[in-house]
Structure 1
Amino acid sequence: MLNSLLLLLFISTIFIENLKVVLAIFVIELILNIVLTKDLIKNLKKLKFLGYIYMITFVIHIISHQTGEVIIKIFNIYVTKNGVRYFLVTFLRIINLVMISWLVKDTGFLMKRLGRYRRVMENVFRLVPEVFVLFRRRLKFKSFLRYILTRIDLKDN
């Protein structure tokens, strides 16, 4: 049931742009994180770095959305309701996605579902940088697949 709820929250976070609905999703995810996440304080401390990125996005949203009802005028830049609303929706979406990732990591439902493919996934993640060999050596796709398959260790024969 939790997996279905997480999927529903994820899809609604991505597609819904209504500020009240996104805020309600944020509250639901916050409650789930308080109840289910073991390292919530440690995870919140990691968000400190993102604060600078959020401030930069705030400035970009304010500058890029100059139409609508003006709240404050600072020099030649207008802070409008539309710009603030758009920033809040974007900010809450990012935070919601981060909180969903905490829930997925702590509940471990991905490893429960994909546990038998764990070794394959680790090999694939380890070989991702090898993709650049395709471009560097100008290999054909067939030759590239042979190259990758020779790099995979088959230990469980």
Structure 2
Amino acid sequence: MISIKRAVPADLDVVLALRYEMLMKVNKLDNHVFNEGFRHITKDYFVNGNQTTIVAMDGMVPIGCATICYIDVMPTFSHPTGKRAHFMNVYTRDAYRRQGIAKKMMELLIFEAKEKGVTHLNLDATEVGKQLYYKLGFSKTAEGMELSL
């Protein structure tokens, strides 16, 4: 049975493992070892950063994750709250793709972003992920993709 939940500190090892798996796949790295500095900074961000991570599980097996990182900037006329967010680590293992899991994780995080007053979302997209992001209302930009709320 597939479950999707907000990650808690006890999920940190699962989240980090999924992130490293995703980074290796996206960057076409085989058996890459992330140095201790990278691991420490990443772990610290998940513990202390202004973010929310969602984890998808098939029973006790981790199958996907998605993270939203919150950013405060000076307000503008088109984004009067100054609250923005960036999606990272949106990933579902190959065997679980095309089942709506990533969509559900993204929808949960978009809902949370709206609740927090975020007016602008962006992300970097792989070719595999672009269709999902278009379905969620994102549009292509020179730097990646974005969605105004």
With normalisation by structure 1, the TM-score equals 0.25
Higher relative contact order (CA 8 A, sep 6+): 1
- More strand, by proportion: 2
More helix by share: 1
Larger Rg, first or second structure (1 or 2):
1
Question: Could you tell me the TM-score, scaled by structure 2's length?
Answer: 0.26
